[in-house]
A and B are shown apart, each in its own frame.
Chain A
Amino acid sequence: MERIRYGIIQAIILTVISFVTAFTFNAFSENGINPFRKMNGVPVLDGFQTEEVEGIRIVGIDEFRSLLDGGGIVLDSRTAEDYDQGHVPGAILFDYFEFGSYLDTVTPYLSFDEEFAIYCTGPYCDDSELLARELFTLGYRKITVFRGGLEGWLEAGLPLETGMHY
């Protein structure tokens, strides 16, 4: 019994030390996050709303292309490795998993008043939507997510650009 009691007491102490270390590291890390930010409160609109609501718009290939043709900014939320192998021409790399590292380099391209689009690998990945939610919490309100992702882009027979551009 004593062995179990000491094991539990020590485990609790180690867990407390881990919490303190983890949150200290998180506070100073570039990729640190606020675990209490309101990610769930962000409205995601799928195009069927009858009234004007502020939120993240989910669009198909046609709307995505018209945004691109109109000179809109496009963000690629995949990793740098994926981006290097092929991305939508003109897209800016913004690896969702390294949100803090990319935020400072990408925000100069973004405007609070102009619409920009985000995509990820395909229709089943949700990194583009999660990145949109993160940016929404920072005050960006004109965000579009291209649901089809790079797979949808390729299915439409559109060309890719390779290499690192941003």
Chain B
Amino acid sequence: MAINEYINGNGVFGGKEGLQEGSARWKDYLVLACRIFLAAVFIYAAFQKADKPLMFADEIRMYRVIGIGPLLYIMAIVLPWVEIICSLSLLTGIFMRGSAFTFIVMNAIFIAVVIYRTFDIMNGEGTPFMDVYFDCGCGFGATYAWKKILEDIVFMLSAMIIYFAPSYRFTLGRRN
């Protein structure tokens, strides 16, 4: 595919399906709300950790999935910026589908590791599921694990709405 076609056609701004005619529909407002909600949450979260890679690395390490080493530190450096760049993408509408896809994958991984750590704490300390309480390293401080899992499910559903019901109103890709 020619790069020009990619930029102006199906690629960046979503293509024909995104070029709706007429006034905005409820779906457009729903997608806009999801975009602003996700972007606000993840930009706030990312700014808590973007300039403190050692703190974020410590929080990732607590999941006992990745030990001390280059992979851990690269994740601590890059992950907050993936959140910032993808949030900006959602706000502007440029590469919106890609950022929604990234948020779906990221939140699926977050949910999996939070569940993994929750069971780790339940088995290690004998804490009941509803009482498991820890700092997930998400940028919002310590909270109950079940709340965090629910939050991540809401984030993932919001990203899914953006991804599967693409509306390109209120984006830089729209002319009307």
Contact = CB atoms under 8 A, between A and B. Distances in A.
Interface string A30-57: 0111111001100000000000000000
Contacts of B63: none
Contacts of A33: 53-54, 73, 76-77
Contacts of B81: 18-19, 21-22, 25
A13 B96 CA distance: 12
A1 to B, nearest CB: 12
Interface string B121-142: 0000000000000000000000
A99 B54 CA distance: 8
A166 interface: no
B74 A7 contact: no
Interface residues of B, number: 36
B78 A22 contact: yes
A14 B77 contact: no
Nearest to B96: A10
Contacts of B78: 18-19, 22-23
B interface secondary structure, majority: helix
A60 B176 CA distance: 70
Interface string A1-25: 0110011111111110111011101
Using C-beta atoms within 8 Å of the partner chain, give the interface range for chain A. Answer: 35 or more
Interface of A: 2-3, 6-15, 17-19, 21-23, 25-26, 29, 31-36, 39-40, 96-99, 127, 130
Given A8-B101, A11-B99, A26-B53, 8 more contacts: A3-B166, A7-B100, A10-B99, A14-B98, A17-B85, A19-B81, A23-B77, A97-B58
26 contacts: A7-B163, A10-B11, A10-B12, A10-B98, A10-B99, A11-B98, A11-B105, A13-B98, A14-B85, A14-B89, A14-B95, A17-B85, A18-B78, A21-B81, A21-B84, A21-B85, A22-B80, A22-B82, A26-B53, A33-B53, A39-B68, A40-B69, A97-B52, A97-B55, A97-B58, A99-B54
